[in-house]
Amino acid sequence: MYLGLDCSTQSLSAIIIDAENGEIIHETSVNFEQDLSQYKTTHGFVRGTEPDEFFSDPLMWVDALDLLFRRMQEQNAPLHRVKVISGSGQQHATVYLKDCFHSSLATLTPNLSLREQLIGCFSRPVSPIWLDGSTRRECNEIIEAIGGNEVSISTTGSAVTPRFSAAQIRKYSRQYSERWDETTTIHLASSFLASILCGKSVAIDYGDGAGMNLMNLETLSWDPTMANATHEGTLDRLPPLAATTTIAGKISSYFSSKYGFSPNTQCCLWSGDNPCSLVGMGVVRPGTWIISLGTSFTLFSALKEPHTDPQGYGHVFGNPIGGYMALSCFKNGALACVALKEHLGISWEEFDQALHKLPSEDEIPALPFYETEITPPARAVDQSSTTPRTLVDGQFLNMKHHSEWLGELPETILVTGGVSRSNSVCQTIANIFQRPVQRISTSSSASLGAALIAAHTDGHDIDFLTELFCDPSSKFCEPNPTVCETYEKLTQKFLASLSDHLKE
């Protein structure tokens, strides 16, 4: 059996799979806000004192690990039968550690909690997370130091980005120089938790490492130019890089003694939540797109070779199974739909009903930016005249335009996430992209992806695993060819409005 863990923004989740029979054996989770209320988070994070600062407490993740395994033990989860563990962590979150982190991991005792033994190991008490946008100054400084954003795009697969680790490290090293001097290791959330499981500091995997603005996509190593532009001491503080399927070692005796894992349980490296979700949704080979319709809307695709967005809006990360993956994130996703529904005072059924009407050439698609957008970077727009039809059209016309850098459209688009339950939204996607849309039902794609990576690391064929665990619905939304001409005209209207807005 194989265990996949996922430390997301809001929870720590676990899934155990039987890879031979294609069965999910056990699932459980810890909700940070509800189950660890002493950390006083909202949806798993706290706001900082500066605008756009967002943090989580790494000790909360540590507490969650103990609580999760205690629950699994109480629920008679077959922890003793787990052969390999892998995991997923929210991307970009950095953890700053003192030298004593290494000795503390090596001497963990089951007589004390993880928190009690690791509380003194942090040179920074909080971890900046993916929501953080407070480092625009540092981004500009890095861009100037390297000679332009195109250097970062071609080297790391992404433009210098506020939520990525490089800018966060630069900000911290400047603001808290004494604490920076105490910092000997900088982990990502994924590699930090993998290190605890292993009882030693482990490598950062290529998938999550690519989301730092520090890894060279061609050499799969830390890039000295990017690292030195962040801080001259950054390279000395970074763990090595390695493939996700690398076995980091056997599980720490802390977990075998306390929770009943076999002492022979192997731990492979963890990756980021987006790379793991790619695997958990069954898109391990190039040729398929997945649109995740969650709080934000995210487009995923596997890539054979790194292929970057010249505008810098899209990102390229490592694919845990090998090769690369593309990702474009659109901040105004489900939250924009919720905001419009509440503004109009209508139900979800009424929202969906409004989308049954086909688009008209007389309408102007909305710029769907209830909040500042990241793809493209844009200010919020007044939505007083927006309708469900113009909002959803605007969202997916924007997505289609900003995914052109990926090249040829796939044969089929898979969709997942809460909004994918709307047949009308799925039909809109099919009509705008003129491709069949197929729904996948998994609600735990990151933890499932981690479990599949663990099984694959142990020798199971990934294509066979995908067939067992990631089978999409047999129902398709077929594109309506009669709306092609209408959407071509609406695309021109949308792009003209977008151009005018970006010039303001």
For residues 209 and 4, give the distance between their C-alpha atoms in angstroms, rounded to a whole number: 19
As a whole number, the mean pLDDT across the chain is 95
Residues 91 and 232 reside in one and the same domain: yes
- Number of neighbouring beta carbons within 10 Å of residue 185: 21
The stretch 279-290 carries a mean pLDDT of: 89
Share of residues in the chain with pLDDT > 70 (%): 99
The stretch 414-423 carries a mean pLDDT of: 87
pLDDT in tens, 31-83: 999 999 999 999 899 999 998 899 999 999 999 999 999 999 999 999 999 99
Whether 445 maps to a domain, the answer reads: no
Q: Are 90 and 130 in contact (CB under 8 A)?
A: yes
Residues 111 and 209 reside in one and the same domain: yes
For residues 401 and 19, give the distance between their C-alpha atoms in angstroms, rounded to a whole number: 39
Q: Are 269 and 205 in contact (CB under 8 A)?
A: yes
The stretch 284-288 carries a mean pLDDT of: 87
Task: Output the DSSP codes for 372-395.
Answer: -EETTEE-----TT--HHHHHHHH
The stretch 396-424 carries a mean pLDDT of: 91
Higher pLDDT, 298 or 443: 298
Residues 169 and 295 reside in one and the same domain: no
Whether 79 maps to a domain, the answer reads: yes
Q: Are 205 and 190 in contact (CB under 8 A)?
A: yes
Provide the token pair at 266: 């192997």
Residues 269 and 293 reside in one and the same domain: no
Residues 335 and 297 reside in one and the same domain: yes
Provide the token pair at 307: 């292929």
Residues 6+ positions from 2 with CB-CB distance below 8 Å: 16, 17, 19, 82, 83, 84, 85, 86, 451, 452, 454, 455, 458
Does 444 score more than 90 pLDDT? no
Whether 454 maps to a domain, the answer reads: no
Does 474 score more than 70 pLDDT? no
Does 254 score more than 90 pLDDT? yes
Q: What's residue 178's pLDDT?
A: 94
DSSP single-letter state for residue 45 = B
Among residues 232, 252, 275, the one where a domain terminates is 275
Residues 256 and 360 reside in one and the same domain: no
Q: Are 1 and 24 in contact (CB under 8 A)?
A: no
User: Cα–Cα distances in Å, from 75 out to 69, 79, 162, 295?
Assistant: 10, 10, 41, 31
Whether 461 maps to a domain, the answer reads: no
Helices (H), 238-333: 253-259, 273-280
Q: What's residue 43's pLDDT?
A: 85
Beta pairing class for 413-416 and 289-293: parallel
Residue entry with tokens 């603001």: 175
Residues 298 and 379 reside in one and the same domain: yes
Residues 268 and 289 reside in one and the same domain: no
Cβ-count burial 67-92 (b if 16+ within 10 Å, e if not): ebbeebeeeebebebbbbbbbbbbbb
Q: Are 127 and 90 in contact (CB under 8 A)?
A: no
Task: Residue count of the chain, please give it.
Answer: 504
Residues 18 and 103 reside in one and the same domain: yes
Q: What's residue 495's pLDDT?
A: 97
Under the banding of pLDDT at 50, 70 and 90, the label for residue 476 is: confident
pLDDT in tens, 160-212: 999 999 999 999 999 999 999 999 999 999 999 999 999 999 999 999 999 99
Under the banding of pLDDT at 50, 70 and 90, the label for residue 501 is: very high
User: What CATH number corresponds to the domain at position 216?
Assistant: 3.30.420.40
Number of independent structural domains in the chain: 2
Q: What's residue 421's pLDDT?
A: 85
Among residues 275, 295, 310, the one where a domain terminates is 275
- The one-letter amino acid code at 113 reads S
- Containing structural domain, residue 118: 2-275
Whether 162 maps to a domain, the answer reads: yes
Among residues 275, 295, 317, the one where a domain terminates is 275
Whether 468 maps to a domain, the answer reads: no
Whether 139 maps to a domain, the answer reads: yes
The stretch 239-259 carries a mean pLDDT of: 98
Residues 102 and 209 reside in one and the same domain: yes
The stretch 237-243 carries a mean pLDDT of: 98
Residues 270 and 307 reside in one and the same domain: no
Residues 304 and 258 reside in one and the same domain: no
Does 418 score more than 90 pLDDT? no
Question: Residue 118 belongs to what H/E stretch?
Answer: helix 114-118
pLDDT in tens, 312-349: 999 999 999 999 999 999 989 998 999 999 999 999 99
Whether 444 maps to a domain, the answer reads: no
Q: What's residue 240's pLDDT?
A: 99
Which sign, positive or negative, has the C-alpha torsion 383, 388, 389, 391? positive
The residue among 179, 237, 235, 195 whose CA lies nearest residue 103 is 195
pLDDT in tens, 105-158: 999 999 999 999 999 999 999 999 988 989 999 999 999 999 999 999 999 999
For residues 310 and 230, give the distance between their C-alpha atoms in angstroms, rounded to a whole number: 22
